[in-house]
């Protein structure tokens, strides 16, 4: 039997803070650090961890002086006008943090899974589920995290191992090229994203008095666990993308998940499965700041929190509770909408640097100077009853278009004919998948042509009777004439990077002309895209070459550090032959070489 006494163990404290730290730091920070400090971002992460450790020591000393939790000390020890003013500042900070977290959460969902849904609808659903979740006790939240901890971080470890195989050591460097001030600036940025440490001041109300030191030790362990995960993530991201490409990415961890290519096809949307880690952690972060914003706002108004008779016993409803919760939800919604429509991530970074962090640093010192430490417990109400339900609800990979209104290209081919760009998709016959009638499943369109790639793509997709869903794309085939046209080839890669049309783990190969490949499709046992994928994988060892994907090609166009070789396919006697490779030398096409 579980007790219901608003008390949690130090192990549960550790896992609560791990979830609060991991989400935003691993999702957003790598791209920011790569832009600021490149490979020296590794030192910035360690510096940020050190700064956070000092801050935790400072909070522990403040907690010892308070001899209790933050809100109880403030209300009992400070003048009414001062605690009212500081409460308002705390509420504003919590709403900004919750709003930014909700913005990132909804934005990741929209870009990764449900791109056709309206951002506002996604945001509203997230906030409504969060509102429902924070009505339960902290014990429920802690128990859920105990269950989720290994279920989420063991798969993450496995993905790290898989992604480590693709680390390119050419990208690991140079080091010590940025100034000390730049690294210090990056370290401060890491510290900004680890400021949920401040919430430890609320935890004396939830832990036994004699276990306070163990609680601080648990938070310290959670901090360095998160720093270690961030370090490993940053090394893998650098090795996969390079610092230049990494610096252009908004959510590189999500892109990394989509870059992993598992053989056999038993997991079709691995990225959708793996970003559940960030769904849970971002949901936890939004929930915890909403909870404290509502809790503090509730305590600003006199009355019912001190009543001994519960609302259930009275048979009524705590309208003040629902009113304060509704108020913080509306404000959080407005902040998240403001971040999204104004693209104000830079504003959030500036706020944390110049207002948020100084406030969190000097705030404990201020209240200790003004008041005396006296112990007072506060009543805690609800947090995160249904994290499992919420995370599972978000794991949907389909947008607004119904399945029967979609077609699923397995291959894309782009080429050039004189001055025109040519484009087409290769589709599977659905009878191969589910025994449906071929006439019903048929998707056909003439080759799309245009003065540039976007125009050719648009003209082709206009002819389709169904919306193209490219999440299962196997191969991108590029004609040699297009590759040798530097302007159009650069335009193609830039457009694919910006629009994220195709999965990054899509194989890339080159050919004389895609028409020759399409000519044999009717004689194949499967669609052309799946056939080429299997053909490349079966001959990879024989050709002594590692198959490269679209993500690597896009990154190298920016990094310009490697010589890459992609399969060059030709036709002989109505069969596909791989006898040469096409070379991309430091981001520039360099022609064919014969495989010896």
CB 132 within 8 A of CB 322: no
Q: Report pLDDT for 399.
A: 46
Angle between helices 387-394 and 138-164 (to 10 degrees): 40
Angle at 579 between CA 576 and CA 583, to 5 degrees: 115
Q: Report pLDDT for 302.
A: 64
Q: Report pLDDT for 374.
A: 39
Give 145-183 pLDDT, tens digit per residue: 788 888 888 888 888 888 888 888 888 888 888 889 999
Of 571, 569, 566, give the one whose Cα is nearest residue 589: 566
Q: Judging by beta carbons within 10 Å of its beta carbon (0-12, 13-18, 19+), is residue 295 exposed, middle or buried?
A: buried
Residue-by-residue DSSP string for 472-495 = T--EEEEEHHHHT-HHHHHHHHHH
Q: Report pLDDT for 6.
A: 63
Query: How far, in Å, CA of 59 to CA of 198, rounded?
Result: 7
Sign of CA dihedral 101, 276, 558, 193: positive
Which residue intervals of the chain bear CATH 1.20.1740.10?
A: 10-301+324-372
Run of H or E residues at 406: strand 406-407
Of 431, 276, 369, 402, give the one whose Cα is nearest residue 78: 369
Sign of CA dihedral 538, 543, 546, 548: negative
Q: How far is CA 295 from CA 68, 104, 305, 379, in A?
A: 17, 23, 10, 9
Count of beta carbons in the 10 Å neighbourhood of residue 259: 23
Low-confidence ranges of the chain (pLDDT < 50): 1-3, 266-267, 304-315, 372-400, 431-442
Q: Report pLDDT for 273.
A: 65
CB 109 within 8 A of CB 354: no
Q: What are the two backbone dihedrals, phi and then psi, of residue 579, each rounded to the nearest 5 degrees?
A: -115, -10
* Architecture of domain 10-301+324-372 in this structure: Up-down Bundle (1.20)
Cα-Cα end-to-end distance for the chain:
70
Residue-by-residue DSSP string for 531-543 = HHHHHHHHHHHHH
Run of H or E residues at 547: none
Run of H or E residues at 426: strand 420-426
């Amino acid at each position: 039997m579980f007790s219901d006494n608003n008390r949690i163990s130090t192990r549960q404290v550790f896992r609560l803070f791990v979830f609060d730290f991991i989400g935003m730091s691993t999702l957003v920070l790598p791209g920011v650090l790569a832009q600021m400090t490149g490979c020296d971002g590794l030192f910035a992460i360690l510096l940020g961890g050190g700064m956070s450790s000092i801050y935790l020591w400072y909070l522990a000393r403040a907690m010892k002086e308070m001899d209790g939790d933050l809100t109880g000390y403030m209300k009992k020890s400070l003048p009414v006008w001062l605690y009212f003013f500081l409460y308002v500042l705390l509420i504003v900070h919590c709403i900004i943090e919750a709003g930014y977290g909700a913005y990132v959460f909804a934005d990741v969902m929209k870009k990764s899974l449900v791109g056709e849904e309206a951002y506002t609808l996604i945001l509203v659903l997230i906030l409504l589920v969060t509102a429902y979740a924070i009505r339960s006790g902290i014990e429920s939240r802690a128990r859920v995290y105990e269950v989720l901890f290994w279920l989420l971080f063991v798969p993450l470890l496995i993905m790290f191992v898989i992604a480590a195989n693709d680390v390119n050591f050419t990208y690991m460097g140079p080091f010590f090229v940025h100034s000390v001030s730049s690294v210090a600036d990056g370290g401060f940025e890491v510290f900004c994203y680890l400021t949920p440490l401040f919430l430890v001041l609320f935890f004396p109300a939830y832990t036994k008095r004699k276990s306070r030191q163990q609680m601080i030790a648990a938070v310290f362990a959670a901090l360095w666990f998160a720093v270690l995960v961030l370090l490993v993530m940053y090394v893998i991201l650098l090795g996969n993308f390079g610092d230049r490409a990494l610096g252009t990415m908004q959510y590189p961890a999500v892109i990394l998940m989509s870059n992993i290519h598992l053989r056999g096809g038993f997991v079709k949307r691995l990225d959708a499965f793996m970003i559940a880690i960030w769904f849970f952690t971002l949901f936890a972060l939004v929930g915890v700041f909403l909870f404290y914003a509502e809790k503090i706002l509730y305590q600003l108004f006199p009355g019912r929190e001190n009543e001994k008779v519960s609302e259930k016993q009275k048979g009524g409803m705590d309208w003040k509770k629902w009113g304060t919760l509704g108020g913080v939800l509306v404000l959080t919604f407005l902040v998240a909408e403001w971040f999204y429509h104004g693209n104000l991530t830079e504003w959030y970074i500036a706020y944390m640097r110049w207002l948020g962090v100084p406030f969190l640093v000097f705030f404990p010192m201020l209240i200790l100077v003004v008041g005396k430490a006296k112990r007072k417990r506060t009543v805690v109400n609800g947090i995160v009853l249904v994290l499992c339900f919420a995370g599972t609800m978000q794991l949907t990979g389909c947008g607004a278009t119904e399945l029967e209104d979609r077609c699923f290209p397995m291959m894309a081919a782009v080429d050039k004919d004189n001055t025109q760009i040519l484009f087409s998709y290769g589709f599977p016959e659905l009878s191969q998948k589910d025994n449906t009638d071929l006439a019903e499943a048929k998707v056909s369109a003439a080759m799309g042509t245009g003065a540039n790639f976007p125009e050719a793509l648009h003209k082709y997709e206009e002819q389709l009777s169904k919306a193209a869903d490219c999440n299962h794309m196997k191969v991108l085939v590029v004609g040699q004439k297009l590759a040798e046209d530097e302007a159009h080839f650069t335009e193609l890669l830039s457009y694919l990077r910006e629009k994220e049309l195709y999965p990054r783990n899509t194989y890339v190969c080159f050919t004389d002309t895609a028409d020759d490949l399409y000519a044999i499709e009717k004689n194949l046992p499967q669609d052309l895209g799946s056939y080429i994928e299997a053909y490349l994988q079966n001959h990879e060892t024989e050709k002594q070459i590692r198959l490269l994907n679209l993500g690597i090609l896009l990154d190298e166009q920016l990094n310009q550090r490697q010589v890459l070789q992609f399969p060059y396919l030709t036709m002989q006697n109505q069969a596909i032959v791989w006898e040469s490779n096409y070379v991309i030398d430091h981001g520039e096409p360099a022609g064919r070489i014969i495989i010896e």
